[in-house]
């Protein structure tokens, strides 16, 4: 039997994407805010830090619609560290500091950060330094050439064509035949590679620091890739495309809890049946790279491995799609032979088919239970804490849900009454009732969005499924983070201790200024 269970001891995690961290550059980074957030996790007795995909954001600023399944979002680079290296001047540093601090303004970020990164890249190459970190630039490029070459070329051509999707480029560039590169293209290729190098080195340093404190990173992998991506452009044979390279069918989900007409994602589907060897090889590379970055990997839209919703490519919404059978158990048996001990979580927002439920049971993979789906019916609701099992990851909410306070404020009277009676509370602080419910559940792993720890409302929502704009903008301020460190961490640690989830860190791995906070 293929067995993916691993949640054998009790622990707690926080869901907080990098983009939402406080920083001085308009979006969260691997700088001071990330370091302080690690302090918060340490002081709170938290073992897991869950993040959203680290890939470049594409349509709608979503990390789930990326220009590459392998590349990194260079917005997260700590640009002020590059200033310390002499690669960014004071004027550009002032531009970074002038970006909005209360939310991610992706338009302003796009107009500012890429050009500053290009300038830094030019200075780096002019200086002829072999490296900035413990890994050299050349070594990084060599180790990642299987995807980096295609991605850098894709980005250079996208810049040449004014940001248009590759499907609208001139014919020779769409088919990658007889491409002639300009000097500007070559400069952009070098700049892209430099940005990927800096991201990797800064992120891995942060991860090593987290691991030294016994904190593990839970990453997130979308099952599908974007049509406008280096992956589809460079490997069209892996996807269900027509001869003109346009999709035959696209991905999404049918009508559900989040949308009465379903969700039309638009991603091309894999050629699971016509090119199984190629698609399996692609997934093997994806997983190998992911487990170089993360300690645990959440597979987004896990249902798609069992059965997936195929929507005709010219559809206006997702309502007229049909179900197709996915690779199923065979896929996971093959991957388990390669990734023998790696840890997965199957994303489950309560809408799994019988085939998907059977797949989860057959491979014994940890699934999800979101407590916001638990209330409003009766004691048999499978998401109520008393109905959960140990091999389930219990969430108060996810990046696709409102904060608990916002959820409760907008719930119908029946649901609110059920919630109050279940927790025997007047629900003056519904977020903490829900947090305690997750922590004291039988599930071995409980994960809480940072918005619930901060007691936030509607202003803190990350993503509303089915809504194309206005998402992924929420950010925590330095004041909120400092307040959480000083005023909330000890309380959260006591709850983790009470529920048998406290993550104990070896004192030798902690900065002296943190030791005084921990018994």
What is the SS3 assignment for 51? Answer: coil
Q: What is the Cα–Cα distance from 393 to 51, expressed in whole angstroms?
A: 15
Contacts of 6 (CB under 8 A, 6+ apart): 343, 366
Catalytic one among 61, 92, 300, 342?
A: 300
Nearest C-alpha neighbor of 116 from the set 81, 67, 144, 156: 81
For residue 417 the two structure tokens come to 């009454």
For residue 423 the two structure tokens come to 């927790």
Q: What are phi and psi of 255, to 5 degrees?
A: -50, 135
Q: What are phi and psi of 10, to 5 degrees?
A: -75, 140
CB atoms within 10 A of CB 136: 15
What radius of gyration, in Å, describes the C-alpha atoms of the chain? 23
For residue 32 the two structure tokens come to 């001071």
The residue assigned the tokens 């406008």 is 228
Q: What is the Cα–Cα distance from 9 to 28, expressed in whole angstroms?
A: 31
Q: What is the Cα–Cα distance from 111 to 402, expressed in whole angstroms?
A: 30
Catalytic one among 284, 317, 400, 417?
A: 400
For residue 422 the two structure tokens come to 């279940």
**Angstrom distances, CA of residue 192 to CA of 19, 87, 126, 142, 166:** 20, 15, 16, 14, 17
Q: What is the Cα–Cα distance from 86 to 514, expressed in whole angstroms?
A: 31
For residue 7 the two structure tokens come to 């949640």
Q: Is 400 a catalytic residue?
A: yes
The residue assigned the tokens 């896929």 is 331
What letter would DSSP give residue 196?
Answer: H
Helices 145-160 & 276-293, crossing angle to 10 degrees? 100
What is the SS3 assignment for 471? Answer: coil
Q: Is 317 a catalytic residue?
A: no
Catalytic one among 347, 348, 452, 502?
A: 347
Q: What is the Cα–Cα distance from 288 to 199, expressed in whole angstroms?
A: 18
Q: What is the Cα–Cα distance from 84 to 81, expressed in whole angstroms?
A: 5
Give DSSP secondary structure letters for 115-154. Answer: HHHHHHHHHHHHHT-S-SSSS-HHHHHHHTHHHHHHHHHH
Contacts of 426 (CB under 8 A, 6+ apart): 420
Q: What is the Cα–Cα distance from 441 to 372, expressed in whole angstroms?
A: 14
β-strand partners of 239? 270
CA 508 to chain centre: 31
- List the catalytic residues: 300, 347, 400
């Amino acid at each position: 039997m293929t067995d993916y269970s691993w949640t054998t001891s009790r622990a707690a995690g926080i869901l907080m994407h990098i983009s939402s961290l406080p920083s001085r550059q308009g979006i969260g980074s691997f700088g001071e805010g990330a370091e302080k957030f690690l302090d918060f996790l340490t002081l709170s007795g938290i073992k897991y830090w869950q993040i959203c995909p680290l890939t470049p954001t594409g349509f709608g600023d979503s990390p789930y619609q990326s220009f590459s399944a392998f590349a990194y979002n260079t917005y997260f680079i700590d640009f002020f560290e590059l200033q310390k290296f002499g690669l960014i001047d004071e004027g550009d540093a002032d531009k970074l500091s002038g970006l909005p601090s209360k939310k991610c303004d992706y338009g302003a970020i796009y107009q500012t950060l890429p050009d500053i990164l290009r300038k830094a890249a030019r200075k780096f190459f002019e200086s002829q330094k072999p490296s900035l970190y413990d890994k050299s630039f050349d070594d990084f490029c060599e180790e990642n050439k299987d995807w980096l070459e295609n991605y850098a070329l894709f980005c250079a051509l996208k810049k040449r064509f004014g940001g248009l999707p590759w499907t609208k480029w001139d014919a020779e560039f769409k088919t990658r035949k007889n491409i002639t590169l300009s000097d500007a293209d070559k400069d952009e290729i070098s700049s892209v590679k430099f940005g990927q190098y800096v991201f990797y080195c800064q992120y891995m340093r942060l991860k090593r620091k987290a691991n030294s404190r016994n904190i593990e990173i839970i990453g997130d992998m979308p099952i599908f890739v974007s049509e406008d991506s280096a992956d589809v452009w460079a490997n069209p044979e892996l996807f269900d495309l027509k001869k003109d390279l346009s999709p035959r069918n696209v991905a999404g989900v049918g009508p559900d809890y989040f949308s009465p007409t379903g969700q039309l994602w638009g991603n091309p589907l894999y050629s699971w049946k016509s090119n199984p060897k190629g698609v399996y090889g692609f997934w093997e590379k994806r997983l190998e790279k992911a487990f170089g970055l993360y300690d645990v990997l959440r597979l987004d839209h896990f249902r798609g491995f069992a059965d997936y919703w195929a929507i005709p490519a010219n559809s206006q919404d997702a309502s007229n799609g049909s179900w197709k059978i996915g690779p199923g158990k065979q896929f996971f048996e093959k991957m388990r032979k390669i990734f023998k001990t790696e840890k997965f979580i199957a994303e489950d927002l309560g809408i799994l088919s019988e085939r998907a439920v059977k797949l989860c049971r057959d491979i014994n993979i940890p699934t999800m239970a979101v407590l916001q789906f638990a209330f409003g019916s009766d004691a048999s609701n499978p998401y109520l804490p008393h109905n959960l099992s140990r091999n389930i990851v219990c969430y108060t909410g996810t990046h696709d849900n409102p904060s608990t306070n916002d959820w409760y404020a907008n719930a119908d009277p029946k649901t609110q009454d059920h919630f109050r009676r279940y927790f025997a509370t007047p629900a003056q602080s519904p977020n903490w009732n829900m947090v305690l419910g997750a922590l004291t559940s039988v599930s071995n792993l409980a994960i809480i969005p940072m918005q619930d720890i901060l007691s936030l409302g509607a202003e803190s929502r990350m993503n509303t499924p089915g809504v194309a704009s206005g998402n992924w903008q929420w950010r925590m301020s330095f004041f909120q983070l400092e307040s959480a460190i000083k005023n909330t961490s000890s309380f959260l640690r006591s709850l983790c201790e009470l529920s048998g989830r406290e993550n104990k860190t070896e004192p030798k791995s902690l900065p002296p200024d943190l030791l005084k906070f921990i018994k």
